[in-house]
Amino acid sequence: MAINLQKGQKIDIGLSMLTVGLGWDPNEGTGNDFDLDASAIMINSSRKLVSESHFIFYNNLVSPDGALTHTGDDPTGGNSDGDDDESIIIDLNKVSNDVQEILFVVTIADFESRKQNFGQVRNSYIRVLDNQSNTEVAKYELDEDFSIETGVEFGRLYRKSDAWKFEASGIGYKADLSFFLEKYYSGQIIK
């Protein structure tokens, strides 16, 4: 049975092969179509991006160590039919030792010109699936009203005592995809 997580709640993963699924439903009748993008940011112990290629998103679908595979962009959110809008398949056994955390963020493309924010998005969630049994292990439904936020950290995987844990984050930012790249960019990329 899946665990329904609350904001800030942490759990042991106990898996090596998993999928992080992210979903959302934009409100109807807000004018322009919504294009939400899921990304994974692989950071080191200094909370900096390990390298630019460790930023996994619609233009960089596979991490250098082969541990993360983004299943691709759904630019309209119309492909999900009630299921995950975008997913990232993960093999934790392949994650480079430099990587201490993997952050999962969702941003709204062209939010300024389209006048959009997460207050116009409902049913947002992040969930962890066991790839072996194809069952949901944990799910966090974001229930806050992010009325000015345009980028949200949904959750994170992190190493602690040689084990992987998951935390439900729910941290909003008035930001786009480049903000997250700059926030975690160290300037000294480790190859």
Tokens of 172: 């909003």
Return the bridge partners of 91, or none: 17
What mean pLDDT value characterizes the chain?
A: 89
Q: What is the pLDDT of residues 89-120, one digit of tens each?
A: 999 999 999 999 999 999 999 999 889 999 89
Q: How far apart are CA 176 and CA 158, in angstroms?
A: 23
Domain ranges of the chain: 16-184
| 179 phi, psi to nearest 5 deg | -60, -45
Q: What is the pLDDT of residues 6-57, one digit of tens each?
A: 999 999 999 999 999 999 888 776 677 888 999 999 999 999 999 999 999 9
Give the pLDDT of residue 46: 94
Q: What is the pLDDT of residues 45-95, one digit of tens each?
A: 999 999 999 999 999 999 999 999 999 876 655 555 558 999 999 999 999
Return the bridge partners of 19, or none: 89, 129
Tokens of 107: 């941003």
The reported pTM is 0.91
Q: How far apart are CA 12 and CA 15, in angstroms?
A: 9
The reply to whether CATH 2.60.60.30 applies to domain 16-184 is yes
Nearest to 39 by CA among 176, 187, 188: 176
